[in-house]
């Protein structure tokens, strides 16, 4: 069984690493958050001294980090993976980053005889805890086949969608759809509430039809309870939409609705709500309409 390195034990990374431990994998971990490391060490993980140290002791190395700069530093930095990784290993970056950065990193690792997969996830903290994430993978098929079983311990669906970078392109498409869906929920439910119709009854009436969605079922109970604890933070969704727009610009694609939702999220960030769950997008509409969508 593979010895796995895991770097990045945040809201998503910690439960993902925990599911690998539960599956019986030997895990060596590293994070700048000492408390998160201690928690998983108590559950059976070994502690690495650095990203380089983790890589030197692992056959597969998973990174789960906030954005492109952090991933580049962890992989290519002075104490990075590239300085400890062994030829024949597989690096699996499960962060959501710019696709061009994934390709750049893969080229550098290939010089060391190391394959890289970009494998971002969707589902947020609840599905990370359950081990039922959707995992979208880009990279060489032989490397994917080596680690597919590992990914399957963290996700309900694991799909190879193309070459390196394809995983993050797929994730950007996912994040556009999710953001627009949640914004539409906010507009619709504020309209219904302002008109004097019980939003919970509206939700129950429409969820079985074409307007029904995973996003609606995940976010409406939270909205009705005024619960905007992440989940998936608005500030992280802002990062993803910025990556989506940058990629669209490179490709000559017009992402008009994405730009508008990004403006809404930026406004919420200015209001101090950057760390709210992205279901909190509705608060933008509530503020304008001077109404709250809550259980009645």
CATH number of the domain within which 205 lies = 1.10.1040.10
The confidence band for 231, taking pLDDT boundaries of 50, 70 and 90, is: confident
Residue 249 DSSP class: H
Closest-CA residue to 164 (of 111, 119, 114, 113): 119
- Span 70-77, mean pLDDT? 98
Residues 7 and 154 in one domain: yes
Candidates 146, 171, 219, 273; catalytic one:
171
Query: Where among 163, 195, 228 does a domain terminate?
Result: 163
The residue out of 163, 191, 222 marking a domain boundary is 163
pLDDT for residue 1 is more than 70: no
Q: Is the pLDDT of residue 65 over 90?
A: yes
Same domain, 122 and 181: no
**295 assigned to some structural domain:** no
User: Does the structure show a pLDDT above 90 at 156?
Assistant: yes
Same domain, 131 and 201: no
235: exposed, middle or buried (Cβ count in 10 Å: 0-12, 13-18, 19+): middle
Is the pLDDT reported for residue 294 higher than 80?
A: yes
Residues 153 and 183 in one domain: no
Residue 112 to residue 44: CA distance in whole angstroms: 30
Domain boundary, last residue among 133, 163, 193: 163
pLDDT exceeds 80 at position 174: yes
Active site residue 171: yes
Do 71 and 39 belong to one domain?
A: yes
Shared domain check, 54 and 108: yes
Q: Report yes or no on 296 lying in a domain.
A: no
Average pLDDT, the chain: 96
Domain of residue 253: give its range: 169-289
**How much of the chain, in percent, has pLDDT values that exceed 70?**
100
pLDDT at position 2 is 74
Tell whether the model's pLDDT for residue 236 goes beyond 80: yes
Q: Give all strands (DSSP E) within the chain, no chain letters.
A: 3-7, 26-30, 46-47, 60-63, 90-93, 115-118, 121-122, 133-138, 155-162
């Amino acid at each position: 069984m593979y010895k796995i390195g895991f770097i990045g034990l945040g809201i998503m990374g910690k439960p993902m690493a925990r599911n690998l431990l539960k599956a019986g994998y030997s895990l060596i971990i590293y994070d700048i958050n000492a408390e998160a490391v201690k928690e998983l060490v108590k559950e059976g993980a070994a502690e690495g001294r650095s990203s380089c140290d983790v890589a030197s002791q692992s056959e597969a190395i998973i990174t789960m980090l906030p954005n492109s700069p952090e991933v580049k530093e962890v992989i290519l930095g002075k104490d990075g993976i590239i300085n400890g990784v062994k030829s024949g290993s597989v690096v699996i970056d499960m962060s959501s980053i710019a696709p061009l950065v994934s390709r750049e990193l893969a080229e550098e690792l290939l010089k060391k005889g190391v394959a890289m997969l970009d494998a971002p996830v969707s589902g947020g903290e609840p599905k990370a805890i359950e081990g039922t994430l959707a995992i979208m993978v880009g990279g060489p098929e032989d490397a994917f086949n080596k680690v597919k079983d590992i990914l399957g311990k963290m996700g309900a669906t694991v799909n190879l969608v193309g070459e390196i970078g394809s995983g993050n392109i797929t994730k950007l498409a996912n994040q556009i759809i999710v953001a627009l869906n949640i914004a539409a929920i906010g507009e619709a439910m504020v309209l219904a509430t302002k008109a004097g119709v019980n939003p919970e009854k509206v939700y129950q009436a429409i969820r079985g039809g074409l307007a029904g969605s995973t996003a609606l079922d995940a976010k409406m109970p939270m909205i009705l309870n005024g619960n905007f604890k992440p989940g998936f933070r608005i500030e992280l969704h802002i990062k993803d939409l910025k990556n989506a727009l940058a990629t669209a610009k490179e490709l000559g694609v017009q992402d008009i609705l994405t730009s508008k939702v990004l403006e809404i999220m930026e406004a919420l960030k200015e209001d101090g709500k950057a760390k709210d769950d992205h279901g909190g997008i509705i608060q933008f509409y509530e503020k304008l309409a001077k109404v709250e969508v809550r259980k009645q």
